[in-house]
Copies of this chain bind each other. A is one copy, B any other.
């Protein structure tokens, strides 16, 4: 077992990019659950769980570790990797990093005994992910909006991690940008970014926007609020499921309301894999 060897257990395009990137840094990379994947770097090995664990000091689990609560998420796997006793044993004695560990722990309580760290729970990971999401939101909007962002009137609901990265990017591309705010502090930051703050309680007054981006994970775009916006307006919900928009109401009112969930994995898997790598490296240094 080598401390400068990384085992990648399952995942999607992000973990595929992650494997390539770590190998590119000169480390040994062994993958399990990537039977159907093709790596550009021919030094990346494919192995079963037992051999991967035997060869690697550090094991990286995907984000999330599991979706169904039974197996490790592994889109490229020929054979499933069950969350069972064998899995727990394989992890023991390794440095283990995974994303959204909660679900996996609920599904497989024995994992409690394995010291694992959650990269998804870290603020630096969240911020880097938000930057990718913000750029992904631009791409999503460019694809769906038949005009150009340049010259468009945009409203960003929320000025948290994602909103505060999205609003200046929209403005930099030539849009006129308003941002909903709850607190006076946020209004100060919004103005300093060259955008117009809109008190959240005024949201129901609507406005002449071409595109609205929601980043708030709460139902703020209710039927009542939605009815104040112009027919045909594009509304992109970036908040995590179930989102902040009453979708059925939006459709009835003639708005083009769309979910844009999980943007990093979809629009920029390499950047997303890079972020996981940077975060894990940082955790190893700490």
Please give, as numbers and ranges, the residues of chain B lying within 8 Å of A135 by CB-CB distance.
142, 148-150, 173
Are A138 and B127 in contact, CB atoms less than 8 angstroms apart? no
23 A/B residue pairs, CB under 8 Å, sorted by A: A13-B146, A17-B146, A127-B192, A128-B191, A131-B148, A132-B148, A135-B148, A135-B173, A138-B138, A138-B173, A142-B142, A142-B268, A143-B143, A146-B269, A146-B271, A147-B270, A147-B271, A147-B274, A148-B268, A150-B192, A150-B194, A151-B191, A175-B194
Are B131 and A267 in contact, CB atoms less than 8 angstroms apart? no
Please give, as numbers and ranges, the residues of chain B lying within 8 Å of A188 by CB-CB distance.
124, 127-128, 131
Which one of A131, A143, A148, A183 has the highest number of Cβ atoms from chain B below 10 Å of its Cβ?
A148
Please give, as numbers and ranges, the residues of chain B lying within 8 Å of A172 by CB-CB distance.
169, 172-173
Are B183 and A124 in contact, CB atoms less than 8 angstroms apart? yes
Are B270 and A146 in contact, CB atoms less than 8 angstroms apart? yes
Give Cα A129–Cα B143 distance, bound, in whole angstroms: 17
* Interface contacts beyond A142-B142, A148-B271: sample of 5 additional A-B pairs, CB < 8 Å, sorted by A: A123-B185, A131-B192, A136-B142, A147-B268, A174-B194
Are A173 and B169 in contact, CB atoms less than 8 angstroms apart? yes
A110 touches B (CB below 8 Å): no
Q: In the complex, which range does the number of interface residues on chain A fall in?
A: 35 or more
A206 touches B (CB below 8 Å): no
Are B146 and A268 in contact, CB atoms less than 8 angstroms apart? yes
Please give, as numbers and ranges, the residues of chain B lying within 8 Å of A78 by CB-CB distance.
none
Which one of A172, A184, A187, A232 has the highest number of Cβ atoms from chain B below 10 Å of its Cβ?
A184
Please give, as numbers and ranges, the residues of chain B lying within 8 Å of A147 by CB-CB distance.
268, 270-271, 274
Q: Which of B127, B130, B139, B146 contacts A139 (CB 8 A)?
A: B139
Give Cα A282–Cα B199 distance, bound, in whole angstroms: 12
Give Cα A26–Cα B276 distance, bound, in whole angstroms: 48
Chain B's closest residue to A274 (CB) is B147
Are A174 and B193 in contact, CB atoms less than 8 angstroms apart? yes
A168 touches B (CB below 8 Å): yes
Please give, as numbers and ranges, the residues of chain B lying within 8 Å of A227 by CB-CB distance.
none
Q: How far is the CB of A258 from chain B (nearest CB, A)?
A: 16
Whether A40 touches B232, Cβ cut-off 8 Å, given contacts A131-B188, A131-B191, is: yes
Which one of A147, A165, A282 has the highest number of Cβ atoms from chain B below 10 Å of its Cβ?
A147
Give Cα A272–Cα B170 distance, bound, in whole angstroms: 20
Please give, as numbers and ranges, the residues of chain B lying within 8 Å of A192 by CB-CB distance.
127-128, 130-131, 134, 150, 165, 174
Give Cα A269–Cα B144 distance, bound, in whole angstroms: 11
Give Cα A183–Cα B127 distance, bound, in whole angstroms: 12
